[in-house]
Amino acid sequence: MIEVNRGRDPLLKRAFSLFRKSGNDLQILYRIRGRGTELLGVMKEGTCIDMIGPLGNRYPVPMNDSSTPIIIAGGIGIASVYPLVEQLAGRALVFYGARTKDDLLMLDEVRAMAREIHVSTDDGSTGQKGTIADSLVSFLSGIKSEDSGCRIYACGPNPLLKAVSNISVQHRIRAFVSMEEHMACGVGACLGCVVKTKGGYVRVCKEGPVLDASEIIW
């Protein structure tokens, strides 16, 4: 949870995923979309801000994992899965899509770290024209995913995560999705950021943000 200004409007901190770490520096990657990110964008270098974290869980990559990790990033969702692509150096199959070519941040870096990358854009300005879900379906229909031991890790807009979840069920692949909800406290107290699952409401900030896609009631 990161403070975006020193005043009281906006009041609440904003939740970001940790993008990169080098030495004592933490980096976040964001797209300017609302007032919070607008204020972050105009913040002067050297400004002190409050931050609490790290909070919540992470993508559950098994130890000594022999499965093929499929990593899915929709738009700015790349910020969340980027460390995973890095960690799985050379092993990940990445599906990365956005509205246009210009929205595909860090594409060269991701390409260099991935075993294989499938790029798509809504307008066809680069890669496949269409959605990530389309690319994923055509890829999976070409392989026997039940036997291959794939696991999906995804972050992006809700409609994408829902589509990925449905596809993973059809292909019997375990999928983990990083969810977003309006968040106030970030520490599990306000119960504002809940998502409905088969076991009832769970808090994105505490039990999440990464949830088992087959548990979520979309």
Partner 1 sequence: MTMNLSVRIGTLELSNPVMTASGTFGYGEEYAEFVDLNRLGAIVVKGLSLQPKEGNPPPRIVETASGMLNAIGLQNIGIERFISEKIPFLRTYDTKVIVNFFGDSVEEYAAAAERLSQAEGIHALEMNISCPNKQAGWCIFGTDPRVTAEVVGAVRKVTRLPLIVKLSPNVTDISLLAKVAVDAGADALSVINTLTGMSIDIRTRRPRLANRTGGLSGPAIKPVAVRMVYEVFKAVKVPIIGMGGIMSGEDAIEFMLAGAAAVAVGTANFVNPSATTDILDDIISYMENEGISDINDLKGAAHAD
Choice from 86, 196, 198, 218 touching partner 1 (CB under 8 A): 196
In the complex, the smallest distance separating the C-beta of residue 161 from partner 1, rounded to whole angstroms, is 15
- Whether residue 12 contacts residue 59, with contact meaning beta carbons closer than 8 Å, is answered with no
Q: Which is nearer to partner 1, 130 or 192 (CB)?
A: 192
Smallest distance, Å, CB 195 to partner 1? 7
Nearest residue (CB) to partner 1, 103 versus 180: 180
Residues near 201 by beta carbon (within 8 Å), at least 6 away in sequence: 191, 194, 195
CB of 181 to partner 1, least distance (A): 6
- Build a one-symbol-per-residue string for 171-190: x at contacts with partner 1 by CB under 8 A, - elsewhere: ----------xxxxxxxxxx
Query: C-alpha 138: how far from its chain's center?
Result: 22
- List helix spans (H) across the chain: 35-41, 78-87, 107-113, 132-141, 145-148, 158-170
Structure tokens at 68: 């093929």
Least distance (Å) between residue 204 CB and partner 1: 9
- Of the residues 194, 202, 211, 216, which one makes contact with partner 1 according to CB under 8 A: 194
Which residue in 24, 89, 88 sits closest to 59, CA to CA? 88
Report the interhelical angle of 132-141 vs 158-170 (nearest 10°): 10
Site for partner 1 in 7-26 (CB under 8 A): 8-13
How many residues touch partner 1 under the rule CB under 8 A: the total is: 26
Q: Tell me the per-residue interface mask from 30 to 59 with partner 1, x by CB under 8 A, - otherwise.
A: --------------------x-x-------
Query: DSSP readout, 130-160?
Result: S-HHHHHHHHHHTS-HHHHTEEEEEES-HHH
**Do the beta carbons of residue 167 and residue 133 sit within 8 Å?**
yes
Determine if 147 is a binding residue for partner 1 (CB under 8 A): no
Interface residue list for partner 1 (CB under 8 A): 8-13, 50, 52, 181-196, 200-201
